[in-house]
Structure 1
Amino acid sequence: MNTNSFVNDGIRYTGHYFTLPLDYQAPTGEHLQVFARSVEIANETDSNKPWLVFFQGGPGFPSPRMDANHGWMKRALQQFRVLLLDQRGTGLSSPVTHETLASLTSEQQVTYLSHFRADNIVRDAESIREQWGIQQWAILGQSFGGFCSLTYLSLFPNSLLRSYITGGVPSIVRHADDVYRATYQHTQRKNQRFFQQFPQAQTWCRDIADYLLSHEVYLPNGQRFTVEQFQQIGIRFGVSDSFLPTYYALESAFVSVNGESVLNYAFLNDMLMAQAYQTNPIYAILHESIYCQSSASRWSAHRIRDEYPQFHYQSGQPFLFTGEMVYPWMFEQYQCLQPLKTAAMQLAEKSDWSMLYSPDTLSHNAVPISCAVYADDMFVDMELTKETLDAIPYARAWITNEYEHNGLRADGERVLDQLIQMGEQTASELGLTLLS
C-alpha cells in the first residue's frame, strides 16, 4: 500500500506499507506493519534501473530521512532506484518503545522481541521483493546493516545482484565474548588518543565522575545521572570529528551557583540527548543478540568488562569512557528501559536463538560483495572482519584508515562509488551483466 508521495528537488519519495508476519514460522498469526520509502529521480519513475535496498545500522534505528541529492544516495541514484527500509520495530514499522510494549507481560515481551533480529528483517525485505515481482536487487548495509547483508546472503543469495557493506562485516562463528574482548581494546585506544590530545579533559572527567559519586544529580527527565552513564558517551568516539565537541562539552560541564560548582543544565541535557537507548530500546535489549547463534550472551559486555578493570572507575584513578556496550544495570537506571528489565534479563539468558549465518552457503557465494573496512573502527574489529571475508568467495575489501565507523555518512558519495566500482570488477570476473 502506498502512502504519501512527494517530489523534492527533482527526487520522488514514496512511502509504502506492507503487512507481514511477526513470525514467519507462523505466517497466519500476528502481523506487523512494515514501512519502506522508495526514492527515485522524479522523471525516471518508469525506469528499468535495478533496486538498491538500504539496511540501517543499529540495531533499532529507522532508515535515514535525508536529502537524496547528497551523500551516498546521490551516487546510488545514478544507477539504482533506492528502497529505504524501516526495519521492524523502528521508524514507522510497528515501532518498539517502552510505550508500545507496556500492555504486554514480560513473557509476552520476550516472545515478541525475539522476532526482531536480522533473520526476520531480511525475511521482511525478501517478502517485499516477492510482492513487487522483482527478480533480483542489490543491497547496501551500514554497520548492523552489514550484518543483515550477510544474513541475506546466507538465506536468499539468489535474490541478490550485488552486496555493498560499510563498517559491518561480523564474525559468522565467534561468540559475543570474542567481539567484546576486541572492542574493549579498541575503545581503550580511542580513550588514549583523546586524552593525549586533550590532557586537561582527564582532570575534568575525574572531577565530573567524583561529583557524581558524592552528589545526587538528575537529568532533565528526572533520571539520576551516574558515573556509568557518563562513561557511555564514549560511544561518540566511534565516529569522525567527535573529539573536539566532547572536549567542549566537558569544558563547560560545571557552573558556579552561590559559590558552589554544580553540573549545569546544558551539560546534563547533552548527556540525556546522548542516551539513544531511551527512545530506541531495541538498541539495548537486542544488541548482544546480534552476535548470538544457538547461544546466550549472558550480558557478555558486562562480564568481559571485568577482564579490563581499568573501565571500572574509582576515585583517584584514571577515567575511561566505554563504547558500544550494553549492561544489565541500564535496565535499572535508564528511565525508559526500567519497564523492560525482566524481559531484557530473560533475553540475555536465551540460548535457542536461530542461526543468522550459513557458513556453508557463504563458502559457495557467487554474489559480488564489496566491503569498506575501516582499520580504526571502534565497533567492528578488522581482524574478525578479515577472518569472515577470507571464508567468502568474491568478497572484496577496501581497507582504509581515512574514515571512522561512520564513513558512509561522512563521505558517502565517494565510499559508495568505490564499492560500486569494486563490485563491477568482481561481476566482470564472474561473467555477470554489468550495471548500466
Structure 2
Amino acid sequence: MAAVIQPARLISQRAHLVPGKLHVTELFFEVPKNYANSAAGTLKLFGRSVRKHERPIVTPSPSDLDKRDKKPYLVYLEGGPGFGNREPQESTLTRYALDRGYQMLFLDYRGTGLSTPVNVDALLAEGGPQEQANYLKLFRADNIVRDAEAVRKCLTADFPPEKKPWSVFGQSFGGFVSLTYLSKHPEGLREVFMTGGLAPIRRTADDVYRATYKKVAERNRAYYRKFPKDVAAVRRIVDHITASAKPIPLPAGGELTVGRLLSLGLSFGSHGGLDLVHAAILKLDADLDQFGALTRAALTTVEQLIPFDTNPIYAILHEAIYCHSPGLASQWAAFRVGKELPSFAWLAKDPPLSPSTGKSEPLEPLYFSGEMVFPFHFSGSYPELFRIQAAADILASHDGWEDLYDEAQLARNAVPVYAASFVDDMYVDFELARETAALVKGIRVFETNTLYHNAIRARADEVMAQLFRLRDDTID
C-alpha cells in the first residue's frame, strides 16, 4: 500500500493572456524533498495551467465561472528524463486538449525547468560525490509521481469528487512515469494517454541496449543511404579531430572529441533527425574544405544538439530509468553492450579512432550512437558533467533503487489507458513495448510503422486522431 501523499502547498500564482486565446496561470508549489524524511527540507515545483480565454456575450454567472475553473485537468508528462516543459502555446497538445474540454497543466518535473532545477553548482553545494549521488537519487519517476499527486490534491481540493482524478499524457519518459503512476497511485487517475512510452518494465538496462543498438544500426544505414557522401565527410572530420595536435575547444567549454561527434546519432530516431545530423556534418566538412579548421558557428551547432551540460539529469540519471527494482545496477550498460558490437567497436578503443592511413583505404561508414550515455561524456567533452564524474560512477554502481512498477496492480488496472507505439522507435524498442502492453489490463494500443518517436510534435494531427479514436470509439 502506497503511503498517503499530503497536498502540495501553493506558494504563488499569477495569470496572463497569450495570443491565441490562452489563459495561462503560472504556479509555484512546495513539496517535500524526500517523502520518506520530512526533515530533509522542501523543493519548489513550477507549472503552468492553461484554459481557453473566452469573452462571452453575457456576463457569466458564478456557477458558470465555477464550471469554467473546475474543468477536468489533463497533465502533460514530458520526455527525458531531465527536461522541463516548453511554453504552452508551443505545445501541439494544448489545442487538442482545450478543444476536448480539458484544462491543461504543464508541470515541470522536480529538478527540471523551474522546479528547483538540478545544476552542477547546486549539486556541488550538496557536498562530496556520495552526497551528490544521494541527492540525485530523489529525482526519479517514483518521486515525480508523488509530486504529481501532491499537486493534484492541492489544485482539486474544492473540486467535486468526480472531478478530482485527472488525466495524464505521457510522451516517451513521460509514459514511463505514467506506468509508475498507474502502479503506485491509480486513484489519482481518470485516464492515461501515452506516446512512445511503454517502458520495458521486465527488462534490465543490458536488455534494453541490446535491443536499441539494433535499431540504431538500422538508422545509421538509413542515414548513409540518404547521404552517401557523408561516409567520407564523417571520416574526414574524425581524422581532423584525432590528428589535431591539441584538443579542439568548444565555444561553451569542453572539447570536441570523436565520441562527442559520434553521439549526434541521438537525433536519428526523430522525424527530421537524419537531416539535422547531416546539416551539422555538412557545416563541419565545409569548414575543413574552406578553412582547414572548424569555425565557432559549426562547433556551436554541434554542442547545441545534445544539451547534457544544461540538462545534467538526462545524462547522469538516464540509465537509472531502467533500474526498476532493488538489486539492479546499470554499470554503464550502454557502454558495456555497445563496445562488444562490431558496428560500434570505436567505443572499445582509446583513443576511439586513429587517423585514416591513406586515400587507398576503403572507407567504412562510422556508426553514430543513439540514446546512450557513456563514461567518456563525463571525462572532459562536457565541462559541467566533468565536475560530477565521481557522482555518476556512484550512481552507475548503485543497486538500492525503489521499485518503479507493480505488475500485480497493472494486471488489475481499472484506469483506461490509450497508447501509441511505434514499430521503428529507436528509443523505446517496439517488441519490448508490446511485452509491457500485455501486462496492463484494459490498455488499448495504436501501433504504426509510419511514425517515429517524436510524432506528437512532428505529426500531432495523426497521433491525436488515433488516440482519441481509441478513447471514443468502440470495437464490437
Gap change, CA 1:81 and 1:413, over 3 Å in 2:
farther
Corresponding residue of 2:345: 312
Give the counterpart of 2:96 among 75, 79, 99: 75
Corresponding residue of 1:296: 329
Question: Do the aligned residues in 1 keep the contact of 2:416 with 2:442 (CA within 8 Å)?
Answer: yes
**Which amino acid in the other structure matches residue 95 of structure 2?**
K
Q: Distance in 2 between matches of 1:364 and 1:32?
A: 34
1:194-251 alpha-carbon deviations (Å, 9 max, x no partner): 1011110111001111111111312112422100000011111111012223323322
**Which amino acid in the other structure matches residue 386 of structure 1?**
R
Q: Distance in 2 between matches of 1:127 and 1:385?
A: 29
Q: Distance in 2 between matches of 1:329 and 1:117?
A: 23
**Which amino acid in the other structure matches residue 153 of structure 1?**
L
Residue 421 of structure 1: how far off its partner (Å):
2.7
Corresponding residue of 2:312: 281
Corresponding residue of 2:417: 369
TM-score, normalised via structure 2 length: 0.86
Give the counterpart of 1:5 among 15, 29, 45: 15
**2:326 matches 1:326:** no
Q: Distance in 2 between matches of 1:280 and 1:247?
A: 24
**2:184 matches 1:163:** no
Corresponding residue of 1:412: 460
Q: Distance in 2 between matches of 1:322 and 1:156?
A: 36
Deviates more, 1:85-94 or 1:70-79: 70-79
1:319-369 alpha-carbon deviations (Å, 9 max, x no partner): 011111001111112101111111111011110100000011001011111
Gap change, CA 1:196 and 1:17, over 3 Å in 2:
same
Gap change, CA 1:342 and 1:258, over 3 Å in 2:
closer
Corresponding residue of 2:71: 49
Residue 256 of structure 1: how far off its partner (Å):
6.3
**Which amino acid in the other structure matches residue 352 of structure 1?**
G
Corresponding residue of 1:195: 224
**Which amino acid in the other structure matches residue 372 of structure 1?**
A
Corresponding residue of 2:8: none
Give the counterpart of 1:403 among 437, 451, 463: 451
3-state SS in 2 of match to 1:67: helix
1:21-170 matched pairs, under 5 angstroms = 21-43=32-54, 46=66, 47=68, 48-67=70-89, 71-78=92-99, 79-105=101-127, 106-132=129-155, 133=157, 135-170=164-199
Question: Do the aligned residues in 2 keep the contact of 1:396 with 1:422 (CA within 8 Å)?
Answer: yes
Residue 171 of structure 1: how far off its partner (Å):
1.3
Residue 255 of structure 1: how far off its partner (Å):
5.1
Give the counterpart of 1:218 among 249, 253, 256: 249
Residue 291 of structure 1: how far off its partner (Å):
0.6
Deviates more, 1:197-206 or 1:215-224: 215-224
3-state SS in 2 of match to 1:233: helix
**Which amino acid in the other structure matches residue 87 of structure 1?**
Y
Question: Do the aligned residues in 2 keep the contact of 1:238 with 1:405 (CA within 8 Å)?
Answer: yes
In structure 1, runs of 5+ residues without a counterpart are 430-436
| Fraction of identical pairs, as percent | 38
Q: Distance in 1 between matches of 2:289 and 2:74?
A: 59
In structure 2, runs of 5+ residues without a counterpart are 1-10, 55-63, 347-352, 357-363
Residue 301 of structure 1: how far off its partner (Å):
0.4
**Which amino acid in the other structure matches residue 295 of structure 2?**
N
Q: Distance in 2 between matches of 1:18 and 1:45?
A: 24
**Which amino acid in the other structure matches residue 308 of structure 1?**
L
1:392-424 alpha-carbon deviations (Å, 9 max, x no partner): 111111111222110111122442232123123
1:120-153 alpha-carbon deviations (Å, 9 max, x no partner): 0010000111122252100000000000000000
Question: Do the aligned residues in 1 keep the contact of 2:48 with 2:88 (CA within 8 Å)?
Answer: no
Deviates more, 1:40-49 or 1:287-296: 40-49
Q: Distance in 1 between matches of 2:262 and 2:287?
A: 23
Gap change, CA 1:394 and 1:30, over 3 Å in 2:
same
Gap change, CA 1:161 and 1:223, over 3 Å in 2:
same
**Which amino acid in the other structure matches residue 286 of structure 1?**
L
Gap change, CA 1:73 and 1:257, over 3 Å in 2:
closer
Q: How many residues align?
A: 427
Deviates more, 1:313-322 or 1:378-387: 313-322
Q: Distance in 2 between matches of 1:91 and 1:354?
A: 24
Question: Do the aligned residues in 1 keep the contact of 2:126 with 2:135 (CA within 8 Å)?
Answer: no
**Which amino acid in the other structure matches residue 361 of structure 1?**
Q
Corresponding residue of 2:28: 17
1:147-206 alpha-carbon deviations (Å, 9 max, x no partner): 000000000112111100001111111101110011111101000001011110111001
Q: Distance in 2 between matches of 1:256 and 1:122?
A: 47
Q: Distance in 2 between matches of 1:355 and 1:303?
A: 24
Question: Do the aligned residues in 2 keep the contact of 1:254 with 1:264 (CA within 8 Å)?
Answer: no
Gap change, CA 1:403 and 1:26, over 3 Å in 2:
same
Question: Do the aligned residues in 1 keep the contact of 2:259 with 2:376 (CA within 8 Å)?
Answer: no
1:241-271 alpha-carbon deviations (Å, 9 max, x no partner): 1222332332231456898622232221111
Deviates more, 1:160-169 or 1:235-244: 235-244
1:314-393 matched pairs, under 5 angstroms = 314-315=353-354, 316=356, 317-333=364-380, 334-393=382-441
Question: Do the aligned residues in 1 keep the contact of 2:233 with 2:285 (CA within 8 Å)?
Answer: no
1:79-107 alpha-carbon deviations (Å, 9 max, x no partner): 21111010000111000011222212222
Q: Distance in 1 between matches of 2:433 and 2:287?
A: 48
Q: Distance in 2 between matches of 1:71 and 1:221?
A: 31
